[in-house]
A = this chain, B = another copy of it.
Amino acid sequence: MSNKKDNILIIGAGLCGSLLAVRLAQRGYTVNVYESRPDLRTTDISAGRSINLALSDRGLKAMRLAGVEDKVKPLCIPMYGRLVHDIEGNTFPSNYSGRDNEYINSISRGELNGLLLTEADLYDNLTIHFNKKCNGIDIENNTASLYDYETKTELEVTGDVIFGTDGAGSSLRKSYYLERKFLFSYAQNYLTHGYKELEIPASAEGKHLISKDYLHIWPRGDYMLIALPNLDGSFTVTLFLSYEEGKYNFENLTTEESIKEFFATQFPDALALIPNIAEEFANNPTGALGTVKCSPWHYQNKNVLLGDAAHAIVPFYGQGMNASFEDVTVFDAILEQHEGNWETIFKVYEKTRKADTDAIADLAIDNYYEMRDHVANPIFKVKRAIEMALEKEFPNDYFSKYSMVTFKEDIPYHTAMTKGRAQDKAILNLIANKEIDTNEDLNTIFKKVQLETEAILQDDRIAGLK
């Protein structure tokens, strides 16, 4: 039993909230979205953090669902792999996939969010209210307390259903924690490292100064630099560095001299491309790298968390936005099945989705170590070479963990994690035990990897008494 008269409130018009709003409007609901920031199409609010993101297949599937894929594509810059920069300035490529049609897309968060807001404007039954900050939600009465930055007044709005898509610092999640109406499992975990965004500007002709076809990485074990291309020829560079440990850290890099010395010794080729390094380092904020998990995601039939509000993750798998967009795809399918019964929808949604968002959170942390450290490890390099060859030779049958997570939107994250970790373990052990090498026949390698992967999964099943 659908009741399209339901008045839906969405808190947060970021990537997830604006997509969800569009989709619910397409389904005929009356939707009001409250967003704390001004309209980013008319105001620059980037402020040196999370400027660009990697859009991949799970995200694109959600764009298709909302009918906006064709509008999104022109904003994308394909990145076919990592280009690893060593300390001498040598580079070596490591493709994401052995299949030519698989790549991830560098995209501007602001441009994409703006596109979704513009799409939202097409629906008469959907209204976005900017500059309205949510300070908390009475989860029993489904009333949001808002502060209007323009009129400097407070207001309360009540909805039949409230969606919290207000990101890692979600006010709805905070209300779940503070109201203590139920046992709320909640975890916020920070890495010991923070991040800072810098910029490689475009050439005088507006061209990219290094290849725009790759995600650039300067892995150095304890810290790492990455760079993603922008449409205007610039690159957004992100430094990941410890707050207070090691020789170089955010606490002790406080002078222009020390910052330049750090880059000159550790990232000499990058330093040459970042003219305003000291100024940007000093002025851009240092961001924290946190993972948020919680449960339950909803309260009765009244309100529910989606996107980063339910499961913020670290950026190292390039899946934060994709996971939030996929939330909308998964939610939409369950809504289709149970329309009219919000409590069932919310329960089935969490039951269906939670293991997958937990998995991508853990995979993202794994990738933090992989990117800053393992990509320079010899045995890891052999593994990637073998996987590229397998994907090229068996494009329909072999998928690396990275490919399953990134390009196979029909494989849930949790399955990709379980299968992918077993496969990684199989290949690394086969290499270490000299049972396979890069010169061997690919058919033989493929069979050995399959057998060993299945044996690992079977051993784990037995150990779990399943």
What is the chain B residue whose CB lies nearest that of A370? B465
CA distance A288 to B184 in the complex (A): 11
- Beta-carbon contacts of A288-302 to B below 8 Å, as 1s and 0s? 101001000000000
CA distance A25 to B41 in the complex (A): 64
A148 on the B face (CB < 8 A): no
Which residues in B have their C-beta under 8 angstroms from that of A293?
187
Q: How many copies does the complex hold?
A: 2
Which residues in B have their C-beta under 8 angstroms from that of A330?
none
Given the interface pairs A428-B463, A428-B465, the reply to whether A186 lies near B185 with Cβ below 8 Å is: no
- Beta-carbon contacts of A431-465 to B below 8 Å, as 1s and 0s? 01000000000000000000000000001101101
What is the chain B residue whose CB lies nearest that of A432? B462
Interface residue stretch chosen among A47-55, A220-228, A374-382: A374-382
Which residues in B have their C-beta under 8 angstroms from that of A421?
463
Give, as a whole number of angstroms, the nearest-CB distance from A91 to chain B.
22
Give, as a whole number of angstroms, the nearest-CB distance from A22 to chain B.
34
A408 on the B face (CB < 8 A): no
Give, as a whole number of angstroms, the nearest-CB distance from A349 to chain B.
17
Q: Which of B183, B189, B425, B462 contacts A185 (CB 8 A)?
A: B189
A135 on the B face (CB < 8 A): no
Give, as a whole number of angstroms, the nearest-CB distance from A313 to chain B.
14
Which residues in B have their C-beta under 8 angstroms from that of A374?
465
Within 8 A of B (CB), among A177-226: 183-190
Give, as a whole number of angstroms, the nearest-CB distance from A294 to chain B.
9
Q: Are A425 and B190 interface neighbours, CB within 8 A?
A: no
Which residues in B have their C-beta under 8 angstroms from that of A373?
465
By a beta-carbon cutoff of 8 Å, the part of chain A in contact with chain B is 183-190, 243, 288, 290, 293, 373-374, 377, 379-380, 421, 424-425, 428-429, 432, 459-460, 462-463, 465
Subset of 11 A-B contacts with CB under 8 Å: A183-B290, A185-B188, A185-B189, A185-B190, A186-B186, A379-B465, A380-B465, A425-B459, A425-B462, A425-B463, A429-B463
